[in-house]
A and B are shown apart, each in its own frame.
Chain A
């Protein structure tokens, strides 16, 4: 079963069957922002996953409820098009492997938090970082958190977060492993 029908009529399920419905639904999601019904859609479909692809390869999957995170990831693909000296300050370009590590971290982390707590994490912004690294930034009214995924896969990621007052968290971690300290930071400062 792919999902149940929405109570609203913004999206019609074609009679041809689930496969066409699924294909149309993906197109519908792409246009969802224009229709302004994305939030409603997210509430009734959970089984179908969103695929983050690069060069026709699936990098990771996300449940539909992470549509905003999926959008942020898609938007960040421009980072891979930046060339050497893209800022006229001799900055390096970005390797696919670094971007993939950043994306996998976000996706795995979001899914893990959902599984453990039923909470959907805020959507971060993905930016080019220094020396070919990727920055993942949450800047919210109640907290801010910056995670830096380095170009060198052997180096740990670094992070800093605070609640704009006395609560701070800072350190390094291995991006491929989940980190409860970061989890607490993200959840505690919502």
Chain B
């Protein structure tokens, strides 16, 4: 099992955005949602210390349909969101991921504000030619 580390401010987190979360060229707020239960609940992201945008994209079920955005952890904490390193080791069905990090505390307010923080690292095909 990997050690759970404290992620410093100003480190980047990468998050995939599926093409179906984009409508008329705009990212929809639904893309920011927590999944899982109890302590394992959160919005899944990858810590840049152990991942690159392309690796994050390739972890998708169908990478071709996904883009990748980045967030500065300090910006997330400024919104009173929790950033919790949650590495995945030997799970059923999915591959190990030392970079895996949960963002917790997402509600209607945070979903609106997260839209402003989006910075594309890899644009999905649906946005490339716009």
Contact = CB atoms under 8 A, between A and B. Distances in A.
Is the pairing of A and B real?
yes
Interface of A: 82, 86-91, 125, 127-131, 135, 137, 139, 144, 146-148, 158-160, 162, 170
A22 B34 CA distance: 48
B90 interface: no
Interface in B16-72: 18, 20-21, 23, 26, 28-30, 33, 35, 60-62, 65
Contacts of A139: 115
- Choose among B28, B30, B33, B111 the residue with the greatest number of A CB atoms under 10 Å from its CB: B30
A127 B23 contact: yes
B3 interface: no
Contacts of B108: 146-148, 158-160, 170
Given A148-B108, A158-B107, A86 B30 contact: no
Q: Is the interface of A mostly helix, strand, loop or mixed?
A: strand
Q: Which of A86, A88, A135 has the most CB of B within 10 A?
A: A88
Interface of B: 18, 20-21, 23, 26, 28-30, 33, 35, 60-62, 65, 107-109, 111-112, 115
Contacts, number: 54
B28 A130 contact: no
Chain A to chain B: the 3 pairs with minimum beta-carbon distance, closest first: A160-B109, A130-B33, A158-B108
B29 A89 contact: no
Given A88-B65, A89-B35, A146 B29 contact: yes
Contacts of A131: 33
B22 to A, nearest CB: 10
Given A127-B29, A127-B30, A135-B29, A86 B109 contact: no
B117 to A, nearest CB: 14
A94 to B, nearest CB: 11
B109 A128 contact: no
Nearest to B60: A88
A82 B23 CA distance: 13
A144 B35 contact: no
Contacts of A86: 20
B42 to A, nearest CB: 13
16 contacts: A86-B20, A87-B30, A88-B61, A90-B35, A91-B30, A91-B33, A125-B23, A128-B30, A130-B30, A130-B33, A137-B29, A137-B112, A146-B112, A147-B108, A158-B108, A160-B112
